[in-house]
Structure 1
Amino acid sequence: MHAFRFKYRPQPVVFKEWRQTDYIITDPQEIASRSRDKDKVEVVGTLLRHANNADLVVVAIVGMGGIGKTTLAQLIYNEPGIQKHFQLLLWVCVSDTFDVNSLAKSIVDASPKKNDDANRPPLERLQKLVSGQRYLLVLDDVWNREAPKWGRLKDHFKHGGMGSAVLTTTHDKGVAKIMGADTHLLGRLEDRFLKEIIEAGAFSFEKKKPAELAKMVHQIVIRCCGSPLAASALGSILRTKTSVKEWKAIASRSSICTEETGTLPILKLSYNDLSSHMKQCFAYCVIFPKDYKIDVAKLIQLWIANGFIPEHKEDSLEAIGQLIFDELASRSFFLDIEKSKDIRGYYSKYTCKIHDLMHDIAMSIMEKECVVATVEPSKIEWPADTTRHLFLSCPQQEGILNDFMEKRSPAIQTLICDSYVQCPLQHLS
């Protein structure tokens, strides 16, 4: 800047008109309960039909990303008949890391009946947990194609009571085949339900739908390719578009969504529609692992610390950060926003999660700047000196970090250790 004799002249931050919104404008479960009722009845029937079956029943809900697999699994899980039939109900999100011991530990930790013998191997604890119990285990978002891993886990599931079942969601038919599952293919959502989702997002602030824009909803529905996630994202984008020209521009884009590519293009479109500082704030969230419960207040403080929040003379950085979070939440970038309880049972903080596909978008943007280490040290792939943000939640994390910092000299801006640090951190300066 000095070499070219540039002068720094701070400009007032231009804000869009912030509108106070609820995190959830419409109830997606209400639409899902109507739109997926036939699928729910079919899968519930399959699970209950095997009540006297001594063999473990595995059912897989298969469909493309954003089609509503997890939402359907939630409807099934909460069905009164299912709640009454099974003695033990468990839900675990698997995502792209299928480590048998870690998964066994997660399953045990998800149970209200978990045993406290933490010194025993996780698989032994799992076997003890399910032994004699008629259980339903939901393994959400499974990517594993390694049959031996599934076989090893299944050997311990077999100790459950008669009629026990595993319900899994996956985008990959090959995964369902490896698991020996009865496959339920989840098709595209009917256009009339997609229309409901889009209108709920696009006209959420309108007392009366503008006639010209309402006529164009059908064009937007076509672009969604049956994906409720795409419909939700498009509805959020269209909320700020008030002219026919803007709507036509969205409807005519060729890369919005295709059955071949899934909903990544539409989600990238949602990202491209953000302001520059909101893009930074969202992309930064990739520092947290998939399915991680993010402390919202902590996230805002991290945004501030990294300089992502623009200053405003009338509002504090925390207030602006909260507005940015609310806006991102209203655009479906965050989900499962809820109050968490502390160890005393009091509601203490807001937490949220990021949809897996949104996480993939953020990862594609941040590339080598973030490292998330949640597995064994030998499996961690450390990038070059481009690393700026580190999240560690693995054994011997102090040794990993010290060794990494001794060999390389990256300019670390964020370090999050998600478990106790028992040794000094060296070379950090």
Structure 2
Amino acid sequence: MVQKQQFLPKYNLQNVVSGQRYLLVLDDVWTREVHKWEQLKARLQHGGMGSAVLTTTRDGRVAEMMRTVEAYNLTALTDQYIKEIIETRAFSCFKKEEERPSVLVNMVDEIVERCAGSPLAATALGSVLCTKTTKEEWEAVLSRSIICTEENGILPILKLSYNDLPSHMKQCFAFCAIFPKDHKIDVDKLIQLWIAHGFIQENQTLLETIGKQIFNELASRSFFQDVKQVQDCVEEIEYNGLFYSRTTCKIHDLMHDVALSVMKKECALATEETSKIECVVATEEPSQSEWLPNTARHLFLSCKEPERKLNSSLENSSPAIQTLLCDGHTESSLQHLAKCSSLQAFQLCS
């Protein structure tokens, strides 16, 4: 079995697995780029007999692209497991099980029915109830429209957990709709963006410290996941072994849907992978009406020639852009940024 590596450069993967029996888990895969999977598979084939790759995805086309055996479709969790998740979250402040108020324990079964077998819904709803200590508060939660349906899935329950946040935390999380789904977010850069937009109020404490507190609270409520310290490198010096450490996180795609439902058309995303986009989509020759509506305030460019897409879109329009993030290299200048007088955050990400 190959030991877990904190950082594994792609050029070293083949050597590490060569002749070794391994189990590799690729969780929540969205990328449909076949060539990337073929490159990875070519390196993994040097492993020992009995090696296996387990992939999870919510995208049927990804499962079809990657599979070597028939895909297994997961079913909803049984009520027993959903109940355990809710009780663990909702009663986390009680050290002993016998300390839990019986009147609240008796209400758990009704809450289980609302979750429709979704562990994420159970986690989110349990987190909301954790701060409620009376029957009246629990009944107030249950009285809200949090019924799962085939049309809207568990979004009402997840939206309930969002509505339970303080107003400044709502701003911070909703802003994350700017990122593509499954995007690895740099936590320190995210906090700086929150500060740039004035989401964090000034007081006696450093804004960065408050930002970290807000992030940790949101992560504890399951708004962020996969929070980890990673080693990264500057591309030009990768082979010299010069790395730096940073904290990254992701947003569960259903929680991302919550952020999108709040921001609506305020976020615009230009990307080659249109299948990943839930809100506004850039085509090969984007027009202002297709991907950059006048309601757009926050832009994320993750595509080839981002400056060409943005320049052509801004030529005949003037949306009040407040945030511009570019995940890639630009070959030429961004010609019309002077029109964006409300621009508060501009970042080129490598």
Interval containing the TM-score (normalised by the shorter chain): 0.7 to 0.9
Relative distance call for 1:135 and 1:210 in structure 2 (3 A) is closer
C-alpha contact 1:224 1:230 (8 A) present in aligned 2: yes
Deviations 1:278-319 (A, max 9, x none): 1111111011110011001111110111111122x2212111
In structure 2, what is the Cα distance between the partners aligned to 1:251 and 1:366? Answer: 25
User: 1:15-94 alignment to 2 at 5 Å?
Assistant: 89=24, 91=26, 93-94=28-29
Relative distance call for 1:268 and 1:289 in structure 2 (3 A) is same
In structure 2, what is the Cα distance between the partners aligned to 1:401 and 1:283? Answer: 23
In structure 1, what is the Cα distance between the partners aligned to 2:185 and 2:214? Answer: 15
Please state if 1:140 is matched with 2:57: yes
| 239, 248, 260: which one aligns with 1:363 | 260
Please state if 1:353 is matched with 2:250: yes
Relative distance call for 1:205 and 1:346 in structure 2 (3 A) is farther
Q: Secondary structure at the match of 1:417?
A: strand
CA-CA distance at 1:346 after TM superposition: 5.4
Q: Secondary structure at the match of 2:262?
A: helix
| 113, 116, 125: which one aligns with 2:43 | 113
| 51, 61, 85: which one aligns with 1:197 | 85
In structure 2, what is the Cα distance between the partners aligned to 1:400 and 1:222? Answer: 47
CA-CA distance at 1:379 after TM superposition: 6.4
In structure 2, what is the Cα distance between the partners aligned to 1:363 and 1:283? Answer: 7
In structure 1, what is the Cα distance between the partners aligned to 2:149 and 2:242? Answer: 45
Q: Secondary structure at the match of 2:284?
A: helix
Aligned position for 2:284: 378
Q: Secondary structure at the match of 2:334?
A: coil
CA-CA distance at 1:257 after TM superposition: 2.5
CA-CA distance at 1:104 after TM superposition: 1.9
Please state if 1:337 is matched with 2:227: yes
Aligned position for 2:197: 306
Q: Secondary structure at the match of 2:175?
A: helix
| 67, 90, 109: which one aligns with 1:218 | 109
Aligned position for 1:422: 331
Identity, % of aligned positions: 53
C-alpha contact 2:302 2:326 (8 A) present in aligned 1: yes
CA-CA distance at 1:332 after TM superposition: 0.9
AA matched with 2:232: D
Q: Secondary structure at the match of 2:332?
A: coil
Relative distance call for 1:144 and 1:108 in structure 2 (3 A) is closer
Deviations 1:202-257 (A, max 9, x none): 12222232333223222222222222111101110011111110111223434332
In structure 2, what is the Cα distance between the partners aligned to 1:198 and 1:347? Answer: 38
In structure 2, what is the Cα distance between the partners aligned to 1:333 and 1:308? Answer: 17
Aligned position for 2:276: none
Task: Give the TM-score taking structure 1 as reference length.
Answer: 0.62
Task: Give the TM-score taking structure 2 as reference length.
Answer: 0.74
In structure 2, what is the Cα distance between the partners aligned to 1:300 and 1:356? Answer: 20
Aligned position for 1:277: 168
Q: Secondary structure at the match of 2:58?
A: strand
AA matched with 2:264: E
In structure 2, what is the Cα distance between the partners aligned to 1:137 and 1:194? Answer: 24
- Any unmatched runs of 5+ in structure 1? 1-83, 115-127, 158-164, 168-180
AA matched with 1:378: E
Higher radius of gyration, 1 or 2: 1
In structure 2, what is the Cα distance between the partners aligned to 1:212 and 1:274? Answer: 25
C-alpha contact 2:29 2:55 (8 A) present in aligned 1: no
Aligned position for 1:327: 217
CA-CA distance at 1:89 after TM superposition: 4.8
Relative distance call for 1:256 and 1:187 in structure 2 (3 A) is same
Please state if 1:409 is matched with 2:318: yes
Query: Once superposed, what is the RMSD of the aligned Cα atoms?
Result: 3.2
C-alpha contact 1:225 1:259 (8 A) present in aligned 2: no
In structure 2, what is the Cα distance between the partners aligned to 1:88 and 1:206? Answer: 38
In structure 2, what is the Cα distance between the partners aligned to 1:355 and 1:375? Answer: 21
**Taking CA–CA contacts closer than 8 Å with sequence separation of 6 or more, which of the two structures ends up with the larger relative contact order?**
1
